[in-house]
Chain A
């Protein structure tokens, strides 16, 4: 038996409504009651000045295995996750081949079991080959261990197919995650449609390309009485639609990536592909609306959309570069800096809730809590630490980030999975 005592810290455990100074004990990887018999721990961590939070969860990452391990592997991705304070991540199924069958899911889980330093949860595709035509075998994929379905990177355009997916997924208690993008409106869009796309002569990706699918999903969630989660919300209009629908009791939710509140479309003026995202960076107005949505609870999931790409793949003409950036190491710091410190939209306890109990509840993960009996996943956070991100220190195999050199306030400083430290500053 091995025991760990974390003392002197401020425990914030939103799942159990705790915010207090107390000790946290973990025995053999599981959280236990604080012993009253004067037991000595095998290992002790002094968490003075730090928050002791449930291990952070990111429900939207791309680890590129199988198929594109030159960008990232499950092993390197998991190390990046740990370095960002994450003890659990949920991988998207747009691997190569796509995770649209039990065999590929099993392969990913086996890789994770041998190479990952954090908990890896997997999703399965909504449709075979992410092609938007035929439903993937949900029963078999559930058997292999998926926690949700999504065609992320793609969006099911056929509303009938999407309806049946939502209806069918309900039978397995699966939440449908959706990358909201109407292809007919977006076309070859590479950046937000607006003044900057006009100036730069780049094809625009209009907000309604997202909003029309968010609205579609609201209608389907209502019709099927089943949850749909809209991924990486970028538009102020989407926030308004989700807010109104949730007020009516529709099972719709949304998530936010830090780049969508940290950056605007004018960053594209240098044609730097590190600012090319899908959905794209938008405007200050959208940022205000998204932050308002986080503040009032409309949007209660935060994530990275961690999307590694090799340097040579990004170092091409902008319209030919792939979408996406790294995110795991910078997301908590950016959200802490913007939401908690600069905008004061939420407090640190709420930020932790959005990264722990909320995602755990959405996907029914047995994580995100410091309750007795839970797995001993813990993130120690220094809420006021001022730091600068250096991409060259990243354990990721890729370096595609616009946040190199960015100053932030607030950082995860130690990541503990099942009672074992897997990363510390």
Chain B
């Protein structure tokens, strides 16, 4: 498609608004494929995609796998425990071996920020960042935005609140970069330890009371509290977090009509969001998952230089 020249997708910070729109438009075309009885197009037939997940994941890995299959690519899955990294091999050497096996696309999930860029600078294969440490998770950001646009139309002037553990969140960063470029107004909400004021330098507002945004938000995107990334000093305990920042049923009732409730998953029910709210009418959490497939098909297709969108 004209306008897309990148081999890799490493993050949304480096994309222009035009490039974001190209991916979203392509995803829209691909979404229909999943709704057919024969959910497959030949766009990447003959291509090999390696799902290289050095960090555990279920939904992202499965989503990429299905996306590649729907494009008729061959797929290999490699997990951290099954890779030579366990034997002390460097990331570079492992990747060079994958390339020697003629992988065309490597989807990398890694605990180190910048790991996908590290590979992209050294390999011919297209590198798709499926989450690198606390840096970026571009396809999650894209599917969030795809869902917002699908439900609301334009994002110009939309008030989007991202709530929770922002400091350690790659999802938040990808959302911030893309939402800013598409004209949305972003407010980050969470404890001052996890949402430091310095985030304002990224062109967003910072708030430390969820009640401040309930009546104005058009979208609330709730992030999981990442116990595995945190040292316990960031806040005193889950009980206090729920009290201060949890989207409880009572709080959800104060949201504007039509306000979208989003979550990248996996959900901690009863922590960042009440179970009833997560399953309620305004929740689009499962639609995000469905849209993730279309977005990932688009990203794989564009980065692999595919031609000919499904009619």
Nearest-CB residue, chain B, relative to A317: B112
Q: A364 contacts the other chain (Cβ, under 8 Å)?
A: no
Whether the Cβ atoms of B135 and A317 lie closer than 8 Å is no
Q: Which residues of B contact A194 (CB under 8 A)?
A: 198
Q: B305 contacts the other chain (Cβ, under 8 Å)?
A: no
Q: Which of A195, A271, A315, A316 contacts B201 (CB 8 A)?
A: A195
Nearest-CB residue, chain A, relative to B10: A271
Pick from A187, A200, A270 the residue with the most CB of B within 10 Å: A200
Q: Which of B113, B167, B198 contacts A271 (CB 8 A)?
A: B113
Q: Which of B114, B136, B168 contacts A317 (CB 8 A)?
A: B114
Query: Which size class do A's interface residues fall under?
Result: 10 to 19
The answer to whether residues A200 and B198 also contact, given A316-B91, A316-B92, A317-B91 and a CB cut-off of 8 A, is: no
Q: A201 contacts the other chain (Cβ, under 8 Å)?
A: yes
Whether the Cβ atoms of B113 and A201 lie closer than 8 Å is yes
Q: A223 contacts the other chain (Cβ, under 8 Å)?
A: no
Q: A424 contacts the other chain (Cβ, under 8 Å)?
A: no
Closest 3 CB pairs of A and B: A271-B114, A201-B134, A201-B135
Whether the Cβ atoms of A271 and B117 lie closer than 8 Å is yes
A residues 276-335 touching B (CB-CB < 8 Å) = 312, 315-320
Q: B61 contacts the other chain (Cβ, under 8 Å)?
A: no
Whether the Cβ atoms of B90 and A202 lie closer than 8 Å is no
The answer to whether residues A317 and B202 also contact, given A201-B135, A201-B173, A202-B133 and a CB cut-off of 8 A, is: no
* Least Cβ–Cβ distance between B192 and chain A, in angstroms: 14
* Least Cβ–Cβ distance between A234 and chain B, in angstroms: 18
A-B contacts, 12 listed (Cβ < 8 Å): A187-B231, A198-B202, A201-B133, A201-B134, A201-B168, A201-B170, A271-B114, A315-B90, A317-B114, A317-B118, A319-B133, A320-B112
Q: Which of B13, B112, B173 contacts A319 (CB 8 A)?
A: B112
B residues 169-203 touching A (CB-CB < 8 Å) = 170, 173, 196, 198-199, 201-202
Whether the Cβ atoms of A202 and B113 lie closer than 8 Å is yes
* Least Cβ–Cβ distance between B132 and chain A, in angstroms: 8
Whether the Cβ atoms of B133 and A315 lie closer than 8 Å is no
Query: Which size class do B's interface residues fall under?
Result: 20 to 34
The answer to whether residues A201 and B201 also contact, given A271-B114, A319-B112 and a CB cut-off of 8 A, is: no
Q: Which residues of A contact B91 (CB under 8 A)?
A: 316-317
**How far is it, in angstroms, between the C-alpha of A270 and the C-alpha of B231 when the chains are bound?**
27
**How far is it, in angstroms, between the C-alpha of A202 and the C-alpha of B111 when the chains are bound?**
11
Q: B115 contacts the other chain (Cβ, under 8 Å)?
A: yes
Q: A199 contacts the other chain (Cβ, under 8 Å)?
A: yes
**Binary per-residue interface labels of chain A (169-181) against chain B in the complex, 1 for a CB within 8 Å, 0 otherwise:** 0000000000000
Whether the Cβ atoms of B110 and A202 lie closer than 8 Å is no
Whether the Cβ atoms of A318 and B199 lie closer than 8 Å is no
Q: Which residues of A contact B231 (CB under 8 A)?
A: 187
Nearest-CB residue, chain A, relative to B112: A317
Whether the Cβ atoms of B202 and A199 lie closer than 8 Å is yes
Nearest-CB residue, chain B, relative to A193: B198
Q: Which residues of A contact B198 (CB under 8 A)?
A: 194-195, 198
Nearest-CB residue, chain B, relative to A190: B113
Nearest-CB residue, chain B, relative to A197: B198
**How far is it, in angstroms, between the C-alpha of A320 and the C-alpha of B170 when the chains are bound?**
19
Nearest-CB residue, chain A, relative to B200: A195
**How far is it, in angstroms, between the C-alpha of A72 and the C-alpha of B198 when the chains are bound?**
40
Kindly list 7 other residue pairs between chains A and B, CB separation below 8 angstroms, not including A201-B133, A202-B133, A271-B113. Answer: A195-B201, A201-B132, A201-B134, A201-B135, A316-B118, A317-B91, A317-B114
* Least Cβ–Cβ distance between B136 and chain A, in angstroms: 7
Nearest-CB residue, chain B, relative to A187: B231
Nearest-CB residue, chain B, relative to A191: B113
* Least Cβ–Cβ distance between A318 and chain B, in angstroms: 5
**How far is it, in angstroms, between the C-alpha of A317 and the C-alpha of B85 when the chains are bound?**
12
The answer to whether residues A200 and B92 also contact, given A195-B198, A195-B201, A319-B133 and a CB cut-off of 8 A, is: no
Q: Which residues of B contact A187 (CB under 8 A)?
A: 231
Q: Which residues of A contact B202 (CB under 8 A)?
A: 195, 198-199
Q: Which of A198, A270, A315, A317 contacts B110 (CB 8 A)?
A: A317
Whether the Cβ atoms of B113 and A318 lie closer than 8 Å is yes
**How far is it, in angstroms, between the C-alpha of A201 and the C-alpha of B115 when the chains are bound?**
12
**How far is it, in angstroms, between the C-alpha of A317 and the C-alpha of B118 when the chains are bound?**
7
**How far is it, in angstroms, between the C-alpha of A230 and the C-alpha of B29 when the chains are bound?**
61
Nearest-CB residue, chain B, relative to A320: B112
**How far is it, in angstroms, between the C-alpha of A202 and the C-alpha of B134 when the chains are bound?**
7
Q: Which residues of A contact B13 (CB under 8 A)?
A: 199
* Least Cβ–Cβ distance between A196 and chain B, in angstroms: 9
**How far is it, in angstroms, between the C-alpha of A315 and the C-alpha of B90 when the chains are bound?**
9
Q: Which residues of B contact A319 (CB under 8 A)?
A: 112-114, 133
